[in-house]
A and B are shown apart, each in its own frame.
Chain A
């Protein structure tokens, strides 16, 4: 599996990307429909509906970092350029996702808690995750050559994985203002079924959109490298 060349993966992704984007728009459409027609929460009113963007983005920002860390480990062990390129093309998406989480979260927080920002463990660790994404991107583009940059950034991604369990379990370990997990927890989700289905559909839609985005970034990176390489060979 680690023997797949970046070029092969890039052509494969490019060929399926149009189906992914159609699927994602379909799912997001259904999710939007469901979100509009779902009942408002008894306590929070309409502001509660921001959850259907906030929660999928939060899951994705964690999952993307996990994927980045794992592909960095694979890249370092098997010296696989494909894994490095995957990590490289994932990090801007992760940054955008974590920014979405922070922005929607602070809007929601203002509506329900009355403050845009509180310094509790969940919020702070999420902010740190965004900064680690930022550092990863800065590191990637501060080296002249992509191989060195990939090595450096992959080490940062591996170190940064320590932050993931802190973000995930911060609501269980400390008493925070942020509410606890209601879907991924021991004893099953504590949500009514219609909310849960809406959440899952919206998550799948956003996930597919990220996949489409990821395949595009991957394709662009590979094409750029091809051009650079042909320049190098012609000189």
Chain B
């Protein structure tokens, strides 16, 4: 069982590598959009909030599209039937898949983050803090998106409905991140606690709800 579990993880990793071209293109688009955005603001001394919230919104959309695409491809009826009948519970498979989507996105983000920060005119001394903040919130974003993607999986006009459902749920993350960056000193900010709590809550409950929704709504 354990051996096969690790085999499953490596196989999912291989699958993720196949899809990483997609996220590479998305991140290139993110950088292009960033540069256009920074052109319009190049003469003003920006506070950190504006570029960071811009970055967040781009990441919202990238992860929304990515999760939506993966869920509609990897959990179509035939595949889902096999997943349900496998000895691994669906929650575990969903967890592994979500983590792989996360890895796929976060690797590109970490690689490109110095470039993005330079384009957006943010001080490079905040590189590590911003990376931590975004990597924590990206995980929550992906788990939330997976829940809403699984709710709407059997519908035809998926993407519009999923966006309507998901984007309101993302905004609390945005509010909290902006609250953290308001106080420039990241390390002594108690708002980080919220992120950790939110993150743990997501890790615990969203695979349960996602698998429940997939079982009830799509087969």
Contact = CB atoms under 8 A, between A and B. Distances in A.
**Does a CB–CB distance below 8 Å link A and B in the complex?**
yes
Interface of A: 76, 121, 124-125, 128, 131-132, 134-135, 138-139, 142-143, 148, 151-152, 155-156, 158-160, 162-163, 166, 170, 173-174
Interface stretch (B4-12, B79-87, B144-152): B144-152
Contact of B164 (A138, A152, A160, A166): A138
A132 B168 contact: yes
B168 A155 contact: no
B209 A173 contact: no
Interface residues of B, number: 24
Contacts of A132: 168-169
A152 B169 contact: no
B147 A155 contact: yes
A151 to B, nearest CB: 5
Shortest 7 CB-CB contacts between residues of A and residues of B = A131-B168, A135-B165, A152-B151, A128-B168, A151-B216, A128-B171, A132-B168
B213 to A, nearest CB: 5
B1 interface: no
B179 interface: yes
B148 A156 contact: yes
A156 B165 contact: yes
A174 B201 CA distance: 23
A61 to B, nearest CB: 14
Interface string B151-165: 110110000010011
A135 B169 CA distance: 11
Given A121-B179, A132-B169, A162-B201, 4 more contacts: A124-B175, A125-B175, A159-B147, A162-B198
Nearest to B215: A151
A202 B179 CA distance: 35
B13 interface: no
A121 B175 CA distance: 7
Provide the main secondary structure of the chain A interface: helix
Contact of B172 (A128, A138, A152): A128
A85 to B, nearest CB: 17
User: By CB atoms of chain B within 10 A, which of A132, A159, A174 has the most?
Assistant: A159
Contacts of B151: 139, 152, 155-156
B46 interface: no
A143 B217 CA distance: 10
B212 interface: yes
B216 A159 contact: no
A135 B148 CA distance: 11
B172 A162 contact: yes
Nearest to B166: A135
Contacts of B175: 121, 124-125, 166, 170
Contacts of B213: 151-152, 155
Nearest to B143: A159
Contact of A139 (B144, B165, B168, B172): B165
A124 B165 contact: no
Contacts of B179: 121, 173-174
Given A156-B148, A156-B151, A174-B179, A162 B169 contact: yes
A186 B154 CA distance: 47
10 contacts: A76-B212, A121-B179, A131-B167, A131-B168, A132-B168, A139-B165, A148-B217, A151-B213, A163-B168, A163-B169
Contacts of B171: 124-125, 128
B155 A142 contact: yes
Given A121-B175, A124-B175, A152 B217 contact: yes
A155 B169 contact: no
A173 B147 CA distance: 28
